[in-house]
């Protein structure tokens, strides 16, 4: 989302501009972190769904931007010239507009990390924090390379999970489509026959006829109901407690729960490895990793871990007691703490979980297929029972 803002700095100078953020509180937080006082902030009006789609920036575009910026900086090109080159090269108008805003901020004396932080929906806290670390250490080209590697791994991870979901989603969609076709076209023809011969109908058949009429004549009510339920769940999910409960369910789901845990552990390990290697303080690392995980249960665990690390405890001993983290993760972190190579160990842990996700997604179809077959079998059995029983009664009457 894009927000228009008016802010002032500690000297009293006022500025106007636009900022990308997931929501208004996130936009306000980002501006305050930059040392500004908020005078006014409002959502920039978007007139159509087309504009929303048009302004989206695919992860692939961000990966290319990061890789090429790192290469140009390493080649000795001045930062503003490198950004201007990327602005000219990109075919994505939304990204070009954001790069233009970043160039203006850098020309105005802002650090690249601060300019990037103004667009958190495109460049999240992980991105701007790592860039900030690179600026402080003078190794910006190195951290850009690490960031691009992190983004590529995340892209591969998400792609694997999405691909694994396509097959069950396709089967379920086909099953629902077939059931709707039967309810709309086949059942009404049988209903006419049943009405003509006045055969007493069992409860299963009456339920099937009722469902058929509901789908055929009141489909718009069903559609409104489905949309209303979806919007209600989406609204409730914004509540902290509801979101926490839903994320707990997500981690404990049969079949999918273990897959989600592997995905989260891969992202947790790789993000921590990237941030620690970039030289970020451990307490800042926790906040950034929590944002990346996007799961309230794990975020809560990391907030607790941050407080305990601040009190002097080791990360491995904290995670060892946390049931949300597999024991292997805490054991490997313990090895890293003792050897002083925690970033290297975490990177290895991430590679391990990447392979685990790969294996899990490959075997997902073979696990889900029998369940889908059982569901389809039950559905077919119920429909056939509801249709055949009255026909059997009709044959007896004749």
Q: Which of 55, 70, 96 is the last residue of a domain?
A: 55
From first to last of the 398 residues of the chain, give the pLDDT tens digit.
Answer: 677 888 777 776 777 777 767 677 777 777 777 777 787 887 765 444 444 444 578 888 899 999 999 999 988 889 999 999 999 998 888 899 999 989 988 988 889 988 898 888 888 888 888 888 888 878 888 888 888 888 888 888 888 888 877 877 888 888 888 888 888 888 888 788 777 777 677 888 888 888 888 888 888 888 899 999 989 988 887 788 888 898 999 899 888 889 899 999 998 999 889 888 888 888 788 888 888 888 899 999 998 998 898 888 998 999 999 999 999 999 999 999 898 889 899 999 999 998 998 888 888 777 777 887 888 788 778 877 877 877 776 666 55
Residues 6+ apart with CB under 8 A from 269: 329, 346, 347, 349, 350, 353
Contact 157, 266 (CB under 8 A): yes
Map tokens 């929590």 to a residue.
Answer: 290
Residue 141 resides in a domain: no
Residue 357 resides in a domain: yes
Give residue 44's domain range.
1-55
How many residues are given for the chain? 398
Residue 22 resides in a domain: yes
> How many structural domains are present in the chain?
2
Residue 62 resides in a domain: no
How confident is the model over 89-112, as pLDDT tens digits?
988 888 999 999 899 889 888 899
Neighbours of 261 (CB within 10 A): 22
Q: Give the CATH number, domain containing residue 46.
A: 3.10.20
Instruction: Enumerate the H helices of the chain as residue ranges.
Output: 24-33, 49-54, 59-74, 79-89, 93-107, 112-117, 125-137, 140-181, 187-197, 203-217, 219-236, 240-252, 256-277, 282-293, 296-310, 315-320, 327-339, 342-397
Q: Which of 10, 35, 55 is the last residue of a domain?
A: 55
Residue 2 resides in a domain: yes
> Do residues 357 and 217 share a domain?
yes
Q: Give the CATH number, domain containing residue 369.
A: 1.20.81.30
- What's the pLDDT at 363? 81
- The secondary structure element, H or E, covering residue 37 is strand 37-43
Q: Which of 37, 55, 73 is the last residue of a domain?
A: 55
> Do residues 280 and 398 share a domain?
yes
> Do residues 164 and 49 share a domain?
no
Residue 89 resides in a domain: no
Map tokens 């981690």 to a residue.
Answer: 251
Residue 275 resides in a domain: yes
- How deeply is 76 buried, as exposed, middle or buried, from its count of CB atoms within 10 A (0-12, 13-18, 19+)? exposed
Neighbours of 243 (CB within 10 A): 16
> Do residues 49 and 171 share a domain?
no
> Do residues 227 and 370 share a domain?
yes
Residues 6+ apart with CB under 8 A from 9: 15, 35, 36, 37
Structure letter (DSSP) for residue 58: -
Give dist(CA 212, CA 181) in Å, integer. 10
Residue 365 resides in a domain: yes
Q: Is the dihedral of CA 44, 49, 50, 55 positive or negative?
A: positive
């Amino acid at each position: 989302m894009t927000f228009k803002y008016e802010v002032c700095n500690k000297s009293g100078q006022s500025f106007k501009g636009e900022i990308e953020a997931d929501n208004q509180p996130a936009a306000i937080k980002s501006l305050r972190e930059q040392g500004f006082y908020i005078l006014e902030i409002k959502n920039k009006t978007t007139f159509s769904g087309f504009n929303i789609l048009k302004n989206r920036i695919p992860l692939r575009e961000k990966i290319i931007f990061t890789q090429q910026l790192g290469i140009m900086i390493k080649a000795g090109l001045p930062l503003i010239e490198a950004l201007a080159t990327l602005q000219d090269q990109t075919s994505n108008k939304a990204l070009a507009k954001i790069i233009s805003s970043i160039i203006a901020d850098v020309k105005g004396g802002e650090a690249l990390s601060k300019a990037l932080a103004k667009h958190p929906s495109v460049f999240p806290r992980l991105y701007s924090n790592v860039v900030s670390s690179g600026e402080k250490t003078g190794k910006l080209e190195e951290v850009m390379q690490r960031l691009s590697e992190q983004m590529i791994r995340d892209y591969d991870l998400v792609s694997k999970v999405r691909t694994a979901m396509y097959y069950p989603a396709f089967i379920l969609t086909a099953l629902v489509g077939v059931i709707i076709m039967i309810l709309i076209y086949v059942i009404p023809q049988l209903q006419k026959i049943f009405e003509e011969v006045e055969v007493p109908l069992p409860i299963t058949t009456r339920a099937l006829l009722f469902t058929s009429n509901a789908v055929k004549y009141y489909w718009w009510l069903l559609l409104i109901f489905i949309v209303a339920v979806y919007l209600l769940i989406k609204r409730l999910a914004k509540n902290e407690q509801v979101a926490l409960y839903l994320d707990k369910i997500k981690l404990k789901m049969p079949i999918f729960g273990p897959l989600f845990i592997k995905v989260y552990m891969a992202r947790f390990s790789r993000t921590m490895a990237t941030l620690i290697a970039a030289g970020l303080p451990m307490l800042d690392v926790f906040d950034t990793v929590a944002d990346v995980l996007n799961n309230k249960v794990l975020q809560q665990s990391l907030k607790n871990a941050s407080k305990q690390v601040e009190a002097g405890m080791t990360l491995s001993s904290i995670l060892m007691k946390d049931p949300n983290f597999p024991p292997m993760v805490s054991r490997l972190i313990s090895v890293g703490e003792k050897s002083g190579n925690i970033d290297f160990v975490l990177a290895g842990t991430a590679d391990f979980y990447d392979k685990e996700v790969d294996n899990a997604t490959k075997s997902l179809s073979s696990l889900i297929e029998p369940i889908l077959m059982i569901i389809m079998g039950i559905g077919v059995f119920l429909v056939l029972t509801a249709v055949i029983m009255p026909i059997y009664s009709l044959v007896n009457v004749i």
